[in-house]
Amino acid sequence: MKAKDVMTTEVIYIDLPNTRDNVVELFKKHGVSAVPVLKNRKVVGIVTRKDILRKIDEDQVAFLMTPNPITVSPEDDIERVVKILTETDFRRLPVVEGGELKGIITVRDIIEKISEMEIDKPIREYIDNISVCIWQDTPLNVAGEIMRLANAELCPILDDDAKVVGIIDEKIVLTETLIEEFLESTTYASSSDTDDSWTWDGIRDYSIKYFEVSVIKLPKEPVKKFMKSPVFVYPTTSVSKTAKAMVENDLDYLPVIDANGRVSGLISDKKLIRVLVDEV
């Protein structure tokens, strides 16, 4: 399998010079969470919503972006792509040929491909055996603080019998409204724009540690009022079935439970895509 077999060819990008406001408009218009940055048709960087929150006082894309990003070619084997994604913090790579942008490949693109491959291998070896769990009657603002301190993107919710009854992730804890408030209060205080809320597709790219301000605004009602229905897998669940569950539920992590219904860990999409390297 090659990068060209998995990549997205319709790529939203932005040219230099440019401003943060134009990047934000692209994010909101197209529902994306990052865009490659081009200059004279060449890829010179990539800018994400995380970059915008990390550098709230910066307006120029040239200083917001990650310069000289790692790129791959359409003919690169998927194993090389997976190795780069799993050995770095990147969740997407520009695909370049002859110096020109041909596409972009993301962790989610690879997960979608794996979900179609009928890989029966159990997920056991890809599980992270550390998981932060939250009691169902914990106030949501406290749950948000727990997630922030643990840098956790998803937490299983337990009832009084320590059984998994739900999950909570950044989409719930860090609502679109709170993120709008956070940005407006820090970077758009002088703006008169009344833009629509951002989509979750972009919000999920955030790291929880950038939302210290927003977390304290969360309600104090029990987390069980906001949690999602439990979506979980077992150590014996197949790789492809797990990937399919991630795609269908729009999750980058899934709780793993044992035969007794107890949480035994989490599995992430970045860990799961390693199967394509291991299977070589």
Strands (E), the chain: 14-15, 34-39, 42-48, 66-67, 92-97, 100-106, 134-135, 154-158, 164-169, 253-257, 263-268
Task: Find the angle CA(246)-CA(272)-CA(28) to the nearest 5 degrees.
Answer: 50
Q: Are 243 and 216 in contact (CB under 8 A)?
A: no
Q: Are 220 and 135 in contact (CB under 8 A)?
A: no
Strands 34-39 and 14-15: parallel
Letter string b/e over residues 62-98, b meaning 16 or more CB atoms within 10 A of that residue's CB? bebbbeebebbebebebeebbebbbeeebbbbbbbee
Query: What's residue 176's pLDDT?
Result: 39
Torsion of CA 204, 208, 210, 216, to 10 degrees: 110
Query: What's residue 53's pLDDT?
Result: 64
Q: What is the pLDDT of residues 204-247, one digit of tens each?
A: 444 444 444 444 567 888 999 989 888 889 999 999 999 999 99
Q: What is the pLDDT of residues 22-73, one digit of tens each?
A: 988 888 788 777 899 999 889 999 998 778 766 767 889 999 998 988 999 9
Both tokens of 92, joined, read 């997407």
> By percentage, how much of the chain surpasses pLDDT 90?
45
Compute the distance between CA of residue 105 and CA of residue 113 in angstroms, rounded to an integer. 11
Closest CA to 234 of 164, 136, 134: 164
Q: What is the pLDDT of residues 126-144, one digit of tens each?
A: 998 877 899 999 998 888 8
User: Can you list the domains of the chain with their CATH numbers?
Assistant: 3-115 (3.10.580.10), 124-174+211-278 (3.10.580.10)
Compute the distance between CA of residue 214 and CA of residue 83 in angstroms, rounded to an integer. 34
28 or 122, which is more confident? 122
